[in-house]
A and B are shown apart, each in its own frame.
Chain A
Amino acid sequence: MQKDQILEILNAALSSGGDYSELFFEDTNSRNYLLENSNVSTALTSNVYGCGIRILKKDKCVYGYTNDISFNNLLKMANSLKDSFEGERILKVTKLENVKSANRNKPIIPYDKMPLDKQISLLKEASEVALNYDERIKKVDINYSFKTQLVTIYNSDGKIVKDSRTRGRVYINAIAVKPNAMQVGGKGPGAQRGFEFFNELIDLKEYAKEAARIAITMLDADDCPSGEMPVIIDNGFGSVIFHEACGHGLEASSVSKNLSIFSNKKGQKIASNIVNAFDDGTIAGGWGSGNFDDEGNPTQRTQLIKDGVLINYLVDNFNGRAMNEKGNGACRRESYKYAPTSRMSNTFIGNGTSTKEEIIANTKFGLYAKSLGGGSVNPTTGDFNFAVQEGYLIENGKITKPVKGATLIGNGANILFNIDMVGNNLLREQGMCGAASGSIPADVGQPTIRVKSILVGGTGGKIKNEL
């Protein structure tokens, strides 16, 4: 579309007093393959294509989207959206200029430059490793997907922002079976990189082995006992608990409305002294990275918590208005079908000084959560729950036996104060984060940490009074 046509749409959107208008064009091509026990069973190609129009007027937002991106249709939609405001024009856009940025996330081997059968054969090798790990591994499912999202944003600040985001991910699920019982172990490495991530930077076979090992370990595990106990959460995906119980509460979308337990807490202690936390959308090749966010601001590295004190929120321009803050590159959306809002990118707890061995040795009795499954949190109350994918009992400073079926229950405001040891082995792992603006790739990360006390739910009976 011509620049003057874009200007006409942006200005039509502003004609009833709007103070900001934006067009978000997207063209995303993706592929998905499913391998079941090393056989490709499903292949899907998909194109997400359309435009979202956003108009802001003070504290109000209207949004529309369509996949008919002809000039006439977009103009029609802009006009119908602006009709929900009443007022005189206060702003006219006269020129549009490109905002430049280096591409930190450019693939070295683009997926379309590597023959598909070569890509698939790497997955088949990994699948065989998992299948051969133990005779009780009966099923191995591997989901492989890659996509390139091309984004062009035009807004009434006169900016044209382009970003290209190529991501690839493999999700391996190994299923272990014995009579009347099944357990699944999963690993899902991904990056904002090309195929080099899979054939050079990581060894998929190790991930496959790990998925199988988890499934077999849990197949033989006893039921987890229940009750309040210290919990050691290992490095990597264990940080999903921080992501859900704390990270979401730092997003301007809930902070600005006083709906977060962390609203109006800037400058205050919200965690124990040894907790430092960051959100960093600038990490090269990071799963949750971008050169720009989805309203055209450059991504940033933002320290959220410093020595236990809340120093920054994750802010988008719109919600920032109510907080007197500018967007800090944290505005994201799944696609043009969602109005963007403040979201996490790669969010992690920073390194502390303890070693993992020290943390375990210092724990008389408790649960060692080596990896977590998913969970959820109520942002208003802070109550959360998480499933433990792989857990072990700790008795007298030693890991003793695996336990299955554990759930961690607690409150986000309390847990941060209860972190009493932080390891020095920070690891980031990949996840998909779902919220108001859709499902987006996000890294969660942390070193091994210990939480003094968490309510553990499980079917293995109440813990005996060993504490």
Chain B
Amino acid sequence: MNFNKYFSYAKEKGFSDIEFKTITHNNLAIQIFHKNVENYQISENEVIYIRGIFNGNLVSGQTENKNNITDIIDIMALNAKLIDEKKEQEIFKGSDKYKNFKTYNDSFNQKSSNEKINMCLELENKAYDYDSRIVDVEEVSYEEVTSAMKIVNSKGLKLSYKVNYAMLVLSVVAKSESDVRTSFSYQVKDNPNDFDLDYLVKKACDDAINSLDGQQINSKKYKVILSPNVFASFVSFLLESASGEKINKDKSLLKDKLDKEIASKKLTIIENPLNKNYPYYYRAFDDEGVATYKKTIIDKGILKTYLYNIEEAKVAKVNSTGNGYGGSKIGITTSFVEIKPSKKSLDDLCLMVKDGVLINNVHGLHAGMNPLSGDFSLQASGYIIENGKIAKPVNLITIAGNLFEMFKDIKEVGNDIFVTYGGISTPSVFIKKLAISSK
């Protein structure tokens, strides 16, 4: 789409600078239920995100109707007059240099829709055949996404990128005489031929079967191992507290903690948007057009940097760290995050724990975690660790504690790396103590 005429329209309306960003999606989604294609969905969608500076105030709009762009600009001009907060704003002219890496391939076209459906059906069959206690396959779903972004602005910036990936998800139900448990597994790949069906089946089915007839345990503080998916959720809350906006606005307990010890020496967290092993998480620039780079956020427990977009960087009088992400309203978040592993396996961690609990599922994070204070109390399930070995399942327990304290209580990290859908690569970690309540 050509936005040139809108540059001049916005100028006439009184905008000093304006930016248009289009994001297009072409998706395919297939859901299988009981050997049938239950849902088949195709979609194409283009959203136009507009950000403009009017009287020094930044305002934004977005539309999916390319015929009403001038209407949106008119409303933005009215909205600009309501803004009270005086802040230095900027539409970005661009970084000096950008890395370049191909994140799009045409592998999706190598498999027909029918072949993709058959792959899902095969996955469902394998799950039913795995064990007689797998009584139902709740869902097999395949989704492929092709996404393209373009940014153009009145400062002369022109950037674009295109990415594709596919995800395959399996959810199963396991049943014993007296209990029903569910579990799921997934993989994200940039080529639909790369899915490992046997891995997905083993992961989901073992999880569900092994957690059957979970017990409750005595309420007290336990030594705990958090599985990678669980630890990743806690990491994302910690990183939220490192957001420059939260720091500037006094909404984070990490304020004034730069270069101070905020976590155990065992913990190093790196943001690496340029990790070529995971092309679908690769970002050469953020959503404001700022070039990204690899950075250590926590180095052996020491907080090395906060995360900034342009707006909050100006408040703090620093440079953007390339963490401005969002559509029309640019917030602060991370791209690909890596927790540095050790050489210790999960078995080694269990031996270190000797007697404790392995938590491999938590629920209700959006409600049970207070992102300000870090206090949390969450429904959880997992396994008892007895004599250094994973033993019987535990279910319907709660784990409770404080996020910031918990990061100080990390005794060891493992080497069993798992990459979450959200783009966090982490091993299991051993936490010295965590309150568990049950019966």
Contacts and interface: CB of A to CB of B under 8 A. Distances in A.
A binds B: yes
Contacts of A337: 43, 45
A404 B374 CA distance: 13
B339 to A, nearest CB: 25
A267 interface: no
Q: Label chain B's interface by main secondary structure.
A: strand
Interface stretch (A33-41, A190-198, A301-309): A33-41
A88 to B, nearest CB: 19
A387 B79 contact: no
Contacts of B136: 258-259
State which size class the interface on A falls in.
35 or more
Contacts of A41: 83-85, 87
Determine which residue in B83, B182, B437 has the highest number of CB atoms from chain A within 10 A of its CB, and name it: B437
A387 B84 CA distance: 35
Contacts of A68: 44, 46
Contacts of B332: none
B318 interface: no
A81 B29 CA distance: 12
Contacts of B84: 38-41
Given A46-B62, A47-B62, A459-B401, A374 B367 contact: yes
B180 interface: yes
B30 to A, nearest CB: 9
Given A41-B85, A63-B40, A183-B372, A385 B363 contact: yes
Given A41-B84, A457-B377, A67 B370 contact: no
B368 A387 contact: yes
A66 B85 CA distance: 37
A46 B398 contact: no
A1 interface: no
Contacts of B370: 182-184, 405
B122 interface: no
B400 A458 contact: yes
A159 interface: no
Interface string B366-390: 1110101101111100000000000
A409 interface: yes
A184 B368 contact: no
B366 A43 contact: no
A274 to B, nearest CB: 26
Interface string A27-71: 100010100101111111111111000000001111111111000
A381 B393 CA distance: 16
Nearest to A68: B44
B59 interface: yes
Contacts of B373: 181-183
A143 to B, nearest CB: 12
B364 A376 contact: yes
Contacts of A381: 180-182
A407 B366 CA distance: 12
Interface in A95-148: 116-117, 120, 138-139
Contacts of B138: 259, 380
A376 B363 contact: yes
Contacts of A40: 82-85
A117 B79 CA distance: 10
Contact of B328 (A31, A46, A175): A46
Contacts of B80: 43
B250 A139 contact: yes
A158 interface: no
Interface of B: 33-34, 36-47, 59-65, 68, 72, 75-76, 78-80, 82-85, 87, 113, 136, 138, 173, 180-182, 219-220, 249-251, 253, 328-329, 363-364, 366-368, 370, 372-373, 375-379, 395-402, 435, 437-439
Q: Which 4 A-B pairs have the closest CB atoms?
A: A457-B398, A374-B367, A385-B379, A226-B437
7 contacts: A39-B85, A45-B76, A65-B45, A184-B370, A339-B41, A381-B182, A385-B368
Given A385-B379, A407-B364, 5 more contacts: A50-B64, A224-B377, A376-B366, A384-B379, A406-B377
